[in-house]
A = this chain, B = another copy of it.
Amino acid sequence: MTTKDVGRTAKRGPYAKSEERRQTILDAAHAVFAARGYRGGSLQEVADRAGMSQTSLLHYFPSKRDLLMSVLERRDEITSGAFPDDMEEGLADSVIRTALHNEDIPGVIELYTVLCAESVTDEHPGRDYFTERYGRLRASYGRRFAELAAEGRLRPGVDPDQAATSLVALWDGLQTQWLLAPDQVDVAKGLRGYLNLVILPGTDPTG
């Protein structure tokens, strides 16, 4: 959205076409890395998809590593709405909505699952990104669960921070199984099941 607006408001600016080109490349790279991983995907394949030569691609992104980092940064924009801090929506509803939303965007879950696990390998450029991302997610959901606990809406004995870690872990694990057997695994149902166990029903409908 931000990008398109730039394109509209600065259509004749010196960077308008260049920015459009960058977006095309990022789309292509997203698809390639999702389908083949970072190490398994090649700049040539990205260039083919983007309709340009491999060297032209390197004019916009000076290295494969840079390209990956830009893809990861843009992923956050695509899935924004995924984070629980954006509205007065209940935690459970927010999570389920985001899970269903992501299933509808081709390649988003593949990219995330593949690159995340690949990032734990030696010298992988995406490692810091995922480490920091998980830290943020645990802290963010931990706060939400703590709020629920303060309202007496967390099941007794459940630790907010552990619930946050487990929610994120469950989500990731369900997506992995879903990618391998989409007919046998229902991500949203699994998340709902967990959240129903942990969160007690409240009088406030927005809980």
Residues in A lying within 8 Å of B, measured CB to CB = 35-37, 39-40, 110, 113-114, 116-122, 127, 130-131, 134-135, 138, 155, 157-159, 162-163, 165-166, 168-174, 176-177, 179-181, 184-185, 189-190, 193-194, 196-198
Contact = CB atoms under 8 A, between A and B. Distances in A.
The 6 closest A-B pairs by CB, nearest first: A169-B173, A117-B117, A173-B173, A172-B173, A169-B174, A39-B40
A196 B157 CA distance: 10
A190 to B, nearest CB: 5
Given A135-B184, A165-B174, A176-B169, A197 B158 contact: yes
Contacts of A35: 121-122
Task: Please report whether the interface of chain A is mostly helix, strand, loop or mixed according to DSSP.
Answer: helix
A135 B183 CA distance: 12
Contacts of A196: 157
A114 B118 contact: yes
A66 to B, nearest CB: 19
A180 B169 CA distance: 12
A77 B194 CA distance: 32
Contacts of A185: 165
Contact of A189 (B39, B162, B177, B194): B162
Contacts of A197: 155, 158, 197-198
A168 B169 CA distance: 10
Given A116-B117, A121-B37, A171 B168 contact: no
A140 B118 CA distance: 28
